A and B are shown apart, each in its own frame.
Chain A
Amino acid sequence: MNVDPVGFLPPLTEVAGLQAADAGNNVGTSDFASWLAKEIGSVNDKITGSDQLLQKLATGQVDNLHQVMIALDEAKMSFQMLVQVRNKLLEAYQDVIRMSV
């Protein structure tokens, strides 16, 4: 007997979107250095921003306390994330170095 192929299902289009996004994230070596520098810059900005908010808290100018606390937390977390990224990079580098040729 003849089995008709399944034809009423439209072809999947979402995969194309994923492939486009993946191509955007596919960075080469030179882009990685600039990306890392950008991330370090943004962490530094967050830390100095939290510093400024702490000074505002000390002078009694803060309107909402949760804004200060959230900014403090964000700065601390992004700094910890940066440290972890640095640890993983070091680990990977040491793995590569230990590879015997």
Chain B
Amino acid sequence: MSGHEVTKALLLKALDAATLRHQAIASNIANANSVNYRPLRVNFEEQLGFARQALAQPGGTLTAADVAGVRARLEQEPAPRAGTAAVMIDMEMVKLSQNTLQYQALLRGVSHHGSLVTTAINEGRK
């Protein structure tokens, strides 16, 4: 895969992760007062450890192999201590805002990717 296709594939996976994360946060908020509830979280960025190191170097880009096996998945956090609330609503609201912003930024990135090719096809005509 070319560099552009790797970026597009990674962006789509990150969008999937953000959608799944929203569902995890929504579930946590819906179960804010539920008994015996274990909060949900999404494992995605942790799978990209090697990729992040590669990107941290100047001029480093990712290859298809870095991106291939990465997939967002749901995880349950450990059960809370007895007597404490499992879900902290204020922290969930912060995570909600952050995730929404990340999702919109990724959408803008995907849109930008497509528009470059569109410009080349249109030869600059609107």
| Chain B binding surface SS class | helix
Interface contact B124-A72, CB-CB below 8 Å:
no
A interface residue count range (under 10 / 10 to 19 / 20 to 34 / 35 or more): 20 to 34
Interface contact B10-A58, CB-CB below 8 Å:
yes
Chain B window 77-121, contacts with chain A (Cβ cutoff 8 Å), 1 for yes, 0 for no? 000000000000000000000000110011011001101100110
Q: Once the chains are docked, how many angstroms separate the CA of A68 from the CA of B108?
A: 10
A23-71 CB contacts (< 8 Å) to partner B: 47-48, 50-52, 54-61, 65, 68-69
A50 vs chain B, min Cβ distance (A):
8
B9 vs chain A, min Cβ distance (A):
9
With A61-B56, A72-B108, A76-B112 as given contacts, are A54 and B120 in contact (CB-CB < 8 Å)?
Answer: no
Interface contact B124-A52, CB-CB below 8 Å:
no
What chain B residues lie within 8 Å of A48 (beta carbons)?
Answer: 3, 61
Interface contact B60-A57, CB-CB below 8 Å:
no
Q: Once the chains are docked, how many angstroms separate the CA of A83 from the CA of B13?
A: 31
What chain B residues lie within 8 Å of A72 (beta carbons)?
Answer: 108-109, 112
Q: Which residues of A contact B (CB under 8 A)?
A: 47-48, 50-52, 54-61, 65, 68-69, 72, 75-76, 79-80, 83-84, 87
8 A-B pairs closest in CB distance: A58-B14, A83-B124, A60-B45, A58-B10, A54-B109, A59-B48, A72-B112, A51-B7
Q: Which residues of B contact A (CB under 8 A)?
A: 3-4, 6-7, 10-11, 13-14, 45, 48, 51-52, 55-56, 59-62, 101-102, 105-106, 108-109, 112-113, 115-116, 119-120, 123-124
